[in-house]
């Protein structure tokens, strides 16, 4: 991102973030429908990792300031309860986890659900995507950046750590193989 923060710079960033958002949403919906099969957790790890890249781009950018300091109405956001339920069914054995949500302020771990975190992220992202799809890339960027710092960034980071732990434990908790004899 250049220091100029020109409309073209913002439009380019909005297009890049919108692509990440669309990929995350379609990937999450596919996993919730069961399309990932036995690869549910690794696929979710990939989806969350990629959307966190968009968050990092927003975090590294200058603050997005709306000219009128006002967000236009986009209507009701879609109901994502079916996605949440589908994820909960696919993640049944690993859905619940504990997290120290803010390592600088919290001292006690809190219980969370991956299915809730993943859909909370989706809800924030789809709201911004609706601005983008209505031809308002600056409003989309403002919403994505604001909600990244305020909400979805924490949930995505927590979900990433939980998903990583599941994958890492599965890969590292293998019994030692007997050495091959020659």
Domains of the chain with CATH codes: 7-172 (1.20.120)
Residue 23 vs residue 99, higher pLDDT: 23
Per-residue pLDDT at 87: 98
- For the segment 24-43, what is each residue's pLDDT rounded down to a tens digit? 999 999 999 999 999 999 99
* Residue partners of 129: CB distance under 8 A and separation at least 6: 18, 21, 22, 25, 140
Q: CA 177 to CA 165: how far, in whole Å? A: 22
Q: What is the pTM of this model?
A: 0.86
* Residue partners of 162: CB distance under 8 A and separation at least 6: 94, 97, 99, 112, 114, 117
* Residue partners of 17: CB distance under 8 A and separation at least 6: 54, 57, 58, 128, 140, 141, 144
For residues 43-49, give the mean pLDDT: 97
Lookup: tokens for 18: 């919108």
For residues 36-56, give the mean pLDDT: 96
Per-residue pLDDT at 61: 93
């Amino acid at each position: 991102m250049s220091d100029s923060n020109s409309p073209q710079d913002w439009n380019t960033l909005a297009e890049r973030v919108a692509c990440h958002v669309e990929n995350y949403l379609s990937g999450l919906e596919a996993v919730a429908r069961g399309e990932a099969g036995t690869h549910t957790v690794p696929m979710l790890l990939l989806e969350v990792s990629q959307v966190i890249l968009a968050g990092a781009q927003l975090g590294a950018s200058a603050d997005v300031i709306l000219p009128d300091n006002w967000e236009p109405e986009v209507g009701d956001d879609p109901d994502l309860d079916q996605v949440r339920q589908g994820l909960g069914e696919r993640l049944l054995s690993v859905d619940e986890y504990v997290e120290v949500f803010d390592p600088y302020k919290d001292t006690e771990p809190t219980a969370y659900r991956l299915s809730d975190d993943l859909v909370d992220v989706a809800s924030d992202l789809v709201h911004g995507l609706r601005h983008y799809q209505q031809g308002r890339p600056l409003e989309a960027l403002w919403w994505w950046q604001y909600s990244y710092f305020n909400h979805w960034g924490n949930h995505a980071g927590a979900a990433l750590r939980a998903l990583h732990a599941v994958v890492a434990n599965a890969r590292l908790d293998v019994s030692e193989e007997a050495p091959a004899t020659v």
